[in-house]
Amino acid sequence: MQQVIQDSRSIEVPSTHQPLSIRSATQVSDADVQAFERDGVVCLRGVFDSDWCELLKEAALEALDSGAGRPREVQNKTAGSGRFYSNVYLSDLDWRFRLLRDRSPAPEVAATLMRSDSIRFYYDQLFVKTPSAGAPTPWHNDLPFWPFRGNDLISMWIALSPVTTENSGLQYVAGSHRWGKMFRAVTPDYDPNLADESMPVCPDYGSDAGDQAGKLLSWDMQPGDVLCHHPLTVHGASGNKSTTETRIGLSVRFLGQDVQWDPRPRTMRLRHDPGVQPGEFPADDVALPVVWERSSGLRALAT
């Protein structure tokens, strides 16, 4: 899949916009870090305040209706009457998502959980399930999609609406990031271009008939809560069974320092070829801009 770079640095923040806090509304504790390392996922409460949530929810709903970017939507008339929509690299299109990338609490939270001194942005991804969207989020882990190896990688799934099991809250297999196992990449629309058939299919751990391999973790969430998971942690979700509630989740993915370039077939293409050999750190400031550094104690704005 060839992807075209758009220079998101040309998207200006309106001068009339009220500044938002770059500090998390909650502190990441040692217990949170330990839970992330032990279980491969942790739920942090109230990371984003109401101003952030309102701004990003407005942008998410506009993206849903615009058709812009690289939308992917389940086309399955038997899956229910609602829509299961996703889109990536929204920060290339909208200044509000670029604020999330460059000036939000997310990079520092990622750095704390990964014990990393430097954080690079990978990509953002929007997930919307409108009422009665019956299509599930197939069980999977993220790393099979990505052209990387390493341990310092993280997905942060930000709730922009209330989330419950009924309206498609995510479930995780605790500790599955330590299995060292990658399952076949699968998208909600089952795109064969990303499916490496040499990899095993991930079982449906959420099904009553599924192969239960361990404890399942899930959380009811409020806007501003964030699920942070390792890209090998196995997860999935049911369809949206609610007839009234839209579930909105916005993921942002970051790299730390223990990452190697691994451009396997059928993985996502970066916005820019990093020009490094497999096994090397992908230090590319175009495709993977630095958005936070500990050494200066300040945010490294990608401007």
pLDDT at 139 over 60: yes
Q: What residue ranges do the domains of the chain occupy?
A: 26-293
pLDDT value of residue 302: 47
The first and second tokens of residue 137, run together, are: 């989020």
| Residue-level length of the chain | 303
Q: Which residue has the higher pLDDT, 196 or 210?
A: 196
Q: Which CATH architecture has domain 26-293?
A: Sandwich (2.60)
**At residue 41, does pLDDT exceed 60?**
yes
User: What pLDDT digit, counting tens, does each position of 257-296 carry?
Assistant: 999 999 999 999 898 899 999 999 999 999 999 999 987 5
Class of residue 126 by CB neighbours under 10 A (exposed 0-12, middle 13-18, buried 19+): buried
Please give the radius of gyration of the chain, using alpha carbons only, rounded to the nearest integer.
18
The confidence score (pLDDT) of residue 204 equals 92
Percent of the chain topping pLDDT 90: 75
Q: How far apart are the first and last CA of the chain?
A: 27
92-108, pLDDT tens digit by residue?
999 999 999 999 999 99
pLDDT digit string (tens) for 150-181? 999 999 999 999 999 999 999 999 999 999 99
Do the strands 216-218 and 247-255 form a parallel or antiparallel pair, or are they unpaired? unpaired
The sign of the CA dihedral 15, 21, 23, 24 is negative
Tokens of 120: 């690079």
Average pLDDT score, the chain: 89
| Mean pLDDT, rounded, for 235-254 | 97
pLDDT at 193: 87
Predicted confidence at residue 4, as pLDDT, reads 32
Mean pLDDT value of segment 39-53: 97
User: Residue 67 — very low, low, confident or very high, per pLDDT cuts 50/70/90?
Assistant: confident
Mean of pLDDT values over 31-41? 98
Q: How many helices (H) and strands (E) does the chain have?
A: 4, 14
Average pLDDT rounded to a whole number, residues 196-214: 79
What pLDDT was estimated at residue 187?
A: 87
Whether 161 contacts 240, CB under 8 Å: no
β partners of residue 254: 121, 154
Tell me, what's the pLDDT at 280?
97
The SS3 of residue 42 is: strand
Binning pLDDT at 50, 70 and 90, where does residue 1 land?
Answer: very low
| Position 129 pLDDT exceeds 90 | yes
